[in-house]
Structures are given as C-alpha cells and as structure tokens.
C-alpha cells in the first residue's frame, strides 16, 4: 500500500515482527519525504481481531473525497478463511498517520457467493470510480475452480456488492494473487489518479500474480 499524502510518502508492507520468516504478519509502516531516506514507524495494522487474527495480509490504500485515506486489506480468521477489512487514520492531522482504527463492521467483504473459495480470496486493489459514480475494486480469488479478479462496487467504500461478472477470469490456473488495476494515458508520462475522473482516451491495465 504505497501512498503520497500531504507531502509525505508512506510505504505499508507485510512484516513479521519476530524475524524474516513467514507468519505472524502485520502491516509495517515507513515514511519519507524524498523516497530515499525512510523512517520506520510502529506497525499500522496488527492481527488483533477475529477477522485478521491469522494475519494482516496484502491490501491497498485509496484516498476518498475530502482527502480521507482508507486502507482495505485481507485478514484471515482462526480457520484461515479470508475476508476484506477496512481501517482509517486515527488522526489525519498527524503528518505520519501513525495510528489506524479498524472499522467496527469488519469484515466488510466475505467470500459468501456460490462458487467462491473462502481460503482463496485476497489482495484488494486500490479503488476507482466508475462512470456511474460508484467505487469499484477488484479482489483476487478462485471462482468455480478458475482464477479471477472479482469485481465489487460501493457507494461509500464501506458496503460492497459483488458484480455479476468478474473483471477478468481464466481457466489456466485456479487462483490469482495481488491483482492491480490502473489507468494510463498514451503519450503522457504522468500517472493517473484512479480516485479522480479518468480523462478521455485513457487505457486500463490489469496485472496479477
């Protein structure tokens, strides 16, 4: 979850406080003003609720209207079932955004639809606004035995509805991880902010592991 907010670069990353081994994953958090020199902070998210007790896994950060950052991330429960959770900064006036508060209605998204695998449902993308003004987000998953970038929509980024068809799916594997969806404008070297209106002529790219 990289983010640039109020003049500060933030990098969030999977981190094990107990050493360079798999497991006990939290969200590490470092900040920088120049992308070269970094300050390590306390973890932004730790595994302390039923929906993320097995780990705070991959997710993303989206800037909502009014300059409100929001984290959406995959958590695992005690049975390793995966779901999507949300967190907000406790104090937006803190330039480093050191503390984050988890939403009381977590998890906001579960793999409850027919054909979905509850242990293969993770890695929500940064949100983007569709032509209808609704937020969109993709989540990597397994759908009816195929790999899929599952598509969801929301009015407020808190309550999500699954769209009938995935953003993309393929029968070459049974799971896609870490999908990313972004827009580019041919002939323009600058990046495009998916939280804002996308200009005419832009093309969209989907990548996944």
Q: Categorize the per-residue pLDDT at 124 as very low, low, confident or very high, splitting at 50, 70 and 90.
A: very high
Cα Rg of the chain, angstroms: 17
Predicted local distance difference test score (pLDDT) of residue 197: 75
Overall fold of domain 3-207 = Tachylectin-2; Chain A (2.115.10)
pTM: 0.94
Print the SS3 string covering 130-159: CCCCCEEEEEEEEECCEEEEEEEEECCCCC
Taking phi over 0 as left and psi of -120 to 50 as alpha, with beta for the rest, 25 belongs to beta
Above 90 in pLDDT, residue 93? yes
- pLDDT tens string 173-209: 999 999 999 889 998 887 788 777 778 888 999 999 8
Question: CA 35, CA 19: separation in Å to the nearest integer?
Answer: 25
CA-closest candidate to residue 80, choices 50, 114, 59: 50
CA-closest candidate to residue 208, choices 182, 184, 180: 180
Return the exposure string of 111-142: e unless at least 16 CB atoms fall within 10 Å of the residue's CB, then b.
beeeebbbebbbbbbbbbbeeeeebbbbbbbb
Distances (CA, A) of 87 to 95, 104, 108, 124, 186: 17, 9, 11, 13, 34
Q: Where are the domains of the chain?
A: 3-207
- pLDDT tens string 59-78: 999 999 999 999 999 999 99
């Amino acid at each position: 979850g990289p983010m640039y907010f109020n003049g500060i670069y933030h990098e969030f990353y999977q981190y094990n406080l107990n050493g360079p081994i798999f497991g006990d994953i939290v969200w590490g958090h470092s900040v920088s003003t120049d992308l070269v020199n970094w300050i390590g902070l306390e973890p932004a998210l730790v595994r302390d609720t039923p929906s993320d007790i097995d780990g705070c896994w991959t997710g993303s950060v989206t800037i909502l209207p009014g300059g409100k950052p929001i984290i959406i991330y995959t958590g695992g429960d005690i049975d390793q079932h995966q779901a999507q959770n949300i967190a907000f900064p406790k104090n937006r006036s803190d330039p480093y955004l050191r503390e984050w508060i988890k939403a009381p209605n977590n998890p906001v998204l579960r793999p409850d639809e027919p054909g979905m695998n509850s242990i293969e449902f993770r890695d929500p993308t940064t949100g983007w606004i569709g032509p209808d003004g609704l937020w969109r987000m993709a989540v990597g998953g397994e759908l009816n035995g195929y790999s899929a970038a599952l598509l969801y929509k929301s009015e407020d980024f808190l309550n999500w509805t699954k769209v009938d068809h995935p953003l993309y799916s393929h029968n070459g594997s049974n799971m896609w991880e870490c999908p990313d969806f972004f827009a580019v404008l041919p002939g323009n070297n600058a990046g495009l902010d998916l939280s804002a209106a996308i200009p005419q002529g832009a093309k969209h790219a989907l990548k996944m592991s």
